[in-house]
Structure 1
Amino acid sequence: MAISENLSRARAPLSGRRVLVVEDEYFLADDIGRALRSCGADVAGPVGELEDALRILHDGSVVDGAVLDVNLRDEMVFPIAQELRARHLPFVFTTGYDKVSIAPEFQDVLLWEKPIDIAAMIRGLGGLIGSRQM
């Protein structure tokens, strides 16, 4: 995937930040991970199962934000979203479904429908992460 120049705007907010990627579609997860790394982020994962995402959240390492696929092999990602929200960590959703599939408590979360515009998604996440103090 050629990284768009539009991603350069996301560079500063993601430089030195660790982003958890929870996505069960291998090629999309790889594209998201590569795009995040090109913007200076350290990528945790990508992982495609809830248990693996929880393990990363509980291993004691720092996570500054996350990209979450709403549906992982017929499991909803909302337990991960709840934990991130409890920690006051920014995250965005990706989904092949429409906004109706999002739990009411997460209607305020930025959502990208598949096929996603990775550059726009990273700019959105970068804005959320960049507004936080390091």
Structure 2
Amino acid sequence: MSSKEELMKRLGINIDSETFRLAFTHRSYSYEHGGIPTNERLEFLGDSILGFCVAEYLYAKFPHLPEGDLAKRRAAIVSTRALAIIARDLEVGEHLLLGRGEAQSNGANKSSILADTMEAILGATYLVQGMA
């Protein structure tokens, strides 16, 4: 089993190779490779999907909480810190396509890059597998 297949198994997803590669393509890599598409659009989509799913869960789980408390809980769950922890646990950084500068400065372990990649993975998964 390839490392890509192992990661998808850990994530519980199955997406095609092209979409998988796109989800892991950082803008620094794109810049050095002729401006190929990056994961930023998938990140945008994934951020929205994650926010919606967490909001829906919190709304149902805590019917007594006011909007402000729900918003604080959602922010804590979808934070860069929380997403980076998950990405590190899943070893997402090993699969990142980074430019030389980012790779040399340990970009594969930067919280912001890892969190953005997790959002891109969610966006890619949504596109391929739908909301379920």
The TM-score normalised by the length of structure 2 is 0.29
Structure with higher Rg: it is 2
The TM-score normalised by the length of structure 1 is 0.29
